[in-house]
Amino acid sequence: MLGIGITQLRRSTPEVSYKELMFEAAIKAYEDARVDPRKDVESFVCSSEDFWEGTSIFDEYVPDQIGGALKPVCTISADGMYGLATAYMQILTGLFDVVAVEAHSKASDIKNLDSIYDLSLDPIYTRPLGLNASFIAGLEMNKFLHSRAAPISSLRRVVAKNRGNALLNSLAMNGAKLDPYELSHSEPISYPLSSHDIAPVADGAAVAVLASEEAARNFRDDPVWIAGVGWSSDSPTLETREWSEATYAKLAARQAYKMARIQNPMQDIQVAEIDDTYSYKELQHAEAIGLAGHSKAHELLEHGDFDRDGTLPVNPSGGSLGMGNTLEMNGLVRVIELALQLRGEAGAHQIHGVQTGVAQSWRGLPTTSGAVIVLSNK
């Protein structure tokens, strides 16, 4: 990974368009990678979904502001980490040496987020039931707590940890010093889910530049290496999925760890940036990708292991709860935060002495799809 560029994440960005956000992230990434987008970057991969954008065939609107016009450019309708996986495959084929990956969110332009979530449900079987995203998340959260016999206070602790971490991250928009005990008095939206458990949506853009090993060495001495990539999906229907487990993350991690030759993730990984768009998801995902034994994540968390100064810091950036939920950009935010840690450039939230880290993303409700990437600075 030659270069990374990211804008600040903010609740709204009325003074710029999505094109200007993308431009800012692209310029930063190309400067960081020391590449000329028109000369050195051979292919561009964007990640977006039409309904988030309010435009059909959003691929039409991506090339100019990232330097991709009249070049191989494509869109992957998924999270940015899937875009990154596509760029990674493109390089491995031998077709290209340098590929840029982009993802962004202009969530503040979306008038009614809930109605878009509703449109992702099966139009025949489940949409007529009038479920909404918070209702589904509440069900899943309840199932998670019940199946682990975990106290709800552990989820308040996830919120307090991540929003506290975000106070030290200049890109984050939702940092706060919170007392988990105070949070436990908040009213549920859909029992046991309360508004504190939901990462608020944010605007922003991110770009990463990938290169083959040979080309990377021409551009810089200290790139961060992609050691493994994986992605997977479980059942898309609410009726037939495994509600208590994040099987998609487990399968994605298996693929990524195999590639990275990681046999014991709890030992081999020093830092993790994982999906926490709902508080319980951090613990569910931590277990799924092997950072905790089954039913053990809440115990490790309560013990302080996932804190910034713990044995395995999880979301030292603040995660989505602390930084903001940037929709299809979330995966790329996690990867960029991990890359900053491995470069020793994470500033006030730097974890010292990290060599290998894992980033994980989930496409959000109602999907069961997600990706895992292992990065290393060795």
Partner 1 sequence: MRSMNIKKRVAVVGAGMTKFMRRAQETGKELAFEAVRQALDSAKLRIEDIDSVSMGSAPDAFDGVHMKGEYLLDGAGGWRKPYSRAFVGGGTGVFSPIHGWFHVASGLFDTCLVVAEEKMSSCLPHPQTAFLTIFDNMLERPLGPNLIWIFALEMQRYMHVHKIPKEHIAQVAVKNKRNALDHPSAQIARKVTLQDVLSSEVMAWPVQRLDISPVSDGACAVILASEDVARKITDSPVWIDGVGWNLDTTYWTNRDLYFPRYVANAARMAYSMAGIHNPRREIDFAEPYDPFDYKELHHMEGLLLCRKGEAPKLTVEGVTERDGKLPICPSGGLLGVGNPIAAAGMMKICELFWQLRGEAGKRQVPGDVRTAVAQAWGDLMQIGTVVVMRS
Binding site for partner 1 (CB under 8 A): 42, 49-51, 54-57, 59-64, 68-78, 82, 85-86, 88-90, 92-97, 116-117, 119-120, 122-124, 229-237, 247, 251-252, 255, 363, 366-367, 369
Length of the chain: 378
Contact at 8 Å (CB) between 317 and 232? Answer: no
Q: Any idea what DSSP says for residue 291?
A: S
Chain centre distance of CA 42: 25
What token pair was written down for 329?
């950009």
What token pair was written down for 24?
């800012």
Query: Smallest gap, in angstroms, from Cβ of residue 175 to partner 1?
Result: 30
Q: Considering the complex, state which of residue 324 and residue 364 has its C-beta at the smaller distance from partner 1.
A: 364
Q: Considering the complex, state which of residue 119 and residue 149 has its C-beta at the smaller distance from partner 1.
A: 119
Q: Considering the complex, state which of residue 157 and residue 363 has its C-beta at the smaller distance from partner 1.
A: 363
Query: Smallest gap, in angstroms, from Cβ of residue 19 to partner 1?
Result: 9
What is d(CA 137, CA 141) in angstroms, rounded to the nearest whole number? 6
Q: Considering the complex, state which of residue 49 and residue 307 has its C-beta at the smaller distance from partner 1.
A: 49
Query: Smallest gap, in angstroms, from Cβ of residue 23 to partner 1?
Result: 13
Query: Smallest gap, in angstroms, from Cβ of residue 237 to partner 1?
Result: 7
Q: Which of 144, 253, 214, 201 is nearest to 364 (CA)?
A: 201
Contact at 8 Å (CB) between 110 and 232? Answer: no
Q: Considering the complex, state which of residue 70 and residue 149 has its C-beta at the smaller distance from partner 1.
A: 70
Query: Smallest gap, in angstroms, from Cβ of residue 121 to partner 1?
Result: 8
What is d(CA 308, CA 266) in angstroms, rounded to the nearest whole number? 16
Query: Smallest gap, in angstroms, from Cβ of residue 274 to partner 1?
Result: 19
What token pair was written down for 356?
């290998």
Q: Considering the complex, state which of residue 144 and residue 362 has its C-beta at the smaller distance from partner 1.
A: 362
Q: Considering the complex, state which of residue 216 and residue 252 has its C-beta at the smaller distance from partner 1.
A: 252
Q: Considering the complex, state which of residue 14 and residue 353 has its C-beta at the smaller distance from partner 1.
A: 14
What is d(CA 295, CA 285) in angstroms, rounded to the nearest whole number? 11
Q: Considering the complex, state which of residue 11 and residue 258 has its C-beta at the smaller distance from partner 1.
A: 258
Query: Smallest gap, in angstroms, from Cβ of residue 24 to partner 1?
Result: 18
Query: Smallest gap, in angstroms, from Cβ of residue 36 to partner 1?
Result: 16
Q: Any idea what DSSP says for residue 236?
A: S
What is d(CA 375, CA 378) in angstroms, rounded to the nearest whole number? 9
Residue 176 makes CB contacts below 8 A (sequence gap 6+) with: 163, 164, 166, 167
Query: Smallest gap, in angstroms, from Cβ of residue 129 to partner 1?
Result: 16
Q: Which of 334, 44, 111, 78 is nearest to 204 (CA)?
A: 334
Query: Smallest gap, in angstroms, from Cβ of residue 231 to partner 1?
Result: 5
Q: Which of 369, 353, 348, 370 is nearest to 361 (CA)?
A: 370
Q: How many CA atoms lie within 13 A of 241 on its CB side?
A: 21
Q: Considering the complex, state which of residue 32 and residue 140 has its C-beta at the smaller distance from partner 1.
A: 140
What token pair was written down for 98?
């340098």
Q: Any idea what DSSP says for residue 280?
A: H
Dihedral sign, Cα of residue 117, residue 206, residue 334, residue 203: negative
Residue 287 makes CB contacts below 8 A (sequence gap 6+) with: 246, 293, 294, 295, 296, 297
